[in-house]
Chains A and B, each alone.
Chain A
């Protein structure tokens, strides 16, 4: 079992829908990152969380430390949100290594 699990693996939705991507982890972590990668493109950091909730524009990220779970939400989704979303965790006591989720491929249809 992977230490960081993402679901769903693939998600297709219509423009305007509310999107949720989930990330669960089974090890102690000190931070959790959400990143975005467009096809053939670079990687962009969306959020870094250690507790609570963060919001940036239409994106919201939450983390529940007790349940070892994080979610990324996209409100009013748009075709330009189509990308791979990756969850990665900084392992406690190993500040330079990230444990990567497998990614969620999101397609938003117009």
Chain B
């Protein structure tokens, strides 16, 4: 039982390049989330998926797109990376729809945009 798995763990992009961060959970959770963590700012919600087939914007969605491919997988895409998107990205999931239940986090993806 792997929990929440994110790939890649590290990535360096040039400005303007695109990439997709992958996230998969094997706990049959309904809701999935993408956060970014920047020094001194805590975690900020980028997008979330309340359930399979739905996605919604969080606090900082600009410059990102997401896909809830199936119940297990929730990907985050940067279409044209910018240095301001340098951050650590965390995927999370929760068993019920919403965060009134425990949240499980992946190990993070450290992204640098140069």
Binding site for B on A (CB under 8 A): 30-31, 33, 35, 41-45, 48, 50, 86, 88, 90, 95-98, 100-103
In angstroms, how far is the closest chain A Cβ from the Cβ of B46? Answer: 12
Size band of the interface chain B makes with A: 20 to 34
Q: Which of B45, B56, B102, B108 contacts A48 (CB 8 A)?
A: B102
The residue that B98 contacts in the complex, of A86, A88, A95, A102, with Cβ under 8 A, is: A95
CB of B25 within 8 Å of the partner chain: no
| Alpha-carbon gap, A60 to B46, bound state (A) | 31
B105 interfacial contact with A, CB 8 Å: yes
B-side contacts of A90, CB under 8 Å: 98-100
Cα of A90 to Cα of B107 in the assembled complex, Å: 22
Q: With A and B bound together, what is the CA distance between A48 and B97 in angstroms?
A: 15
Tell me the chain B residues, 74-88 only, with Cβ under 8 Å from chain A.
none
